Structure 1
Amino acid sequence: MGYFDEPDGKDCLGKTTLTTQVGTVIGLTSSMYAFLFKYGRMTAVQGLVQGTNITLTMAALGAVFGATTCAVSAARGKDSRLNYFIGGCTTGALLGVKTHSYAMGFGMCAGLGSLAAIYKHGVLEDWPNMFEEPKY
């Protein structure tokens, strides 16, 4: 199942599950690189704890984005860029809560919200997907 197989506001559980899985994979990958390059002098237990923290944070961010975007789409009854901005903004605000920083929350809200809205604009305008094979 792809994320855009169902219209926004439908199959919220499936979309939230998919974004959570993507967040988990990003978290596991980030954990690996953090352990190798940043936390290389940790013991295995310390590395496991730090990796779990990173992975769970990224999984939570994916879940919040998927759930918020789908819930806002269902409540508004519209498929628009604003739904994705609100989902990205909520995700950024969660990072601010995790870091106990209003500046981080506001900045990530604006950044992730804008990035998500631009992505949705690209989907609505049929911009080419950078992960697909080019068609000649």
Structure 2
Amino acid sequence: MAAWIREILLYKWYDTPDGEDCIKKMIYLGRMSGIAGMAFSYFEVGANRHLIPVQTPTGYAIRFVSSTAPFVAAGVAFGGVTCLMCSARKKDDFWNYFWGGMAAGGVVGVRFKSGTLGTVAGILFGFMAAFKKQSKKEKGLFVFFEPSDETVGQGQWQKWRFSLSWQSFDKSLSKYYEPRGHTYYFPSTVGPFPPAN
């Protein structure tokens, strides 16, 4: 039992391909969105103290949990729908992520009791998720903080590239547009500056 819990806690979204380990993916996204929800709730409870009917620690705790729960539910809904769509359709494409985003937006609509808000949030989340999936798949636009394959100076420095490139979406534009990438060096073990070339 302890090994399974440790495996769940150390699991990351891209450890397995999409469509596999749906329960682990749901728990992972529920955990990550729960952390974001707790950060939001901390400020939300502090800013809206006057809206809490009972000014006691219990009243604050109830407001904190009720503000955090939609974040967790949206993360779990996104992870579950995305993974189940991928395994049911047998296709690993951006449509799975789009429908996962729509499910997460539906949770927002339920929380605020507004079908319009849920629809708008679902479309927005769906497009953002589909865009992320497509950029991850093609290693193109808006995939930040991914290490390159090369290291500098006997593995002491890892080279990270931050760039915006439209080339992965339209190859014909590559002859007209040259992306301006910036390369930064972050130490993996020692030293504050990149090695001299």
Same fold judged by TM-score > 0.5? yes
- Counterpart residue type for residue 129 of structure 2: A
Give the whole-Å Cα distance in 1 for the aligned partners of 2:87 and 2:21. 10
Percent identity between matched residues is 27
The RMSD of aligned alpha carbons is: 1.9
Give the whole-Å Cα distance in 2 for the aligned partners of 1:47 and 1:78. 45
Q: Secondary structure at the match of 1:79?
A: coil
Give the whole-Å Cα distance in 2 for the aligned partners of 1:131 and 1:39. 38
Structure 2 residue aligned with 1:47: 60
Structure 2 residue aligned with 1:17: 27
Q: CA offsets per residue over residues 5-30 of structure 1, 9 Å max, x none?
A: 21110111111110010111011111
Gaps of 5+ in 2: 1-10, 148-157, 161-184, 186-197
Gaps of 5+ in 1: none
Q: CA deviation at 1:134?
A: 5.6
Q: CA deviation at 1:56?
A: 1.3
Pairs aligned (count): 135
Structure 1 residue aligned with 2:74: 61
Which of 5, 18, 32 is matched with 1:8 structurally?
18
Larger relative contact order (CA 8 Å, sep ≥ 6): 1
Q: Does 1:118 align with 2:122?
A: no
Give the whole-Å Cα distance in 1 for the aligned partners of 2:146 and 2:64. 27
Between 1:123-132 and 1:56-65, the stretch displaced more is: 123-132
Q: Secondary structure at the match of 1:92?
A: helix
- Counterpart residue type for residue 144 of structure 2: N
Q: Does 1:94 align with 2:103?
A: no
Give the whole-Å Cα distance in 2 for the aligned partners of 1:102 and 1:40. 27
Q: Does 1:82 align with 2:92?
A: no
On the 8 A contact 1:12/1:66 being kept in 2, the answer is yes
Between 1:94-103 and 1:112-121, the stretch displaced more is: 94-103
Q: Which has the higher strand share?
A: 2
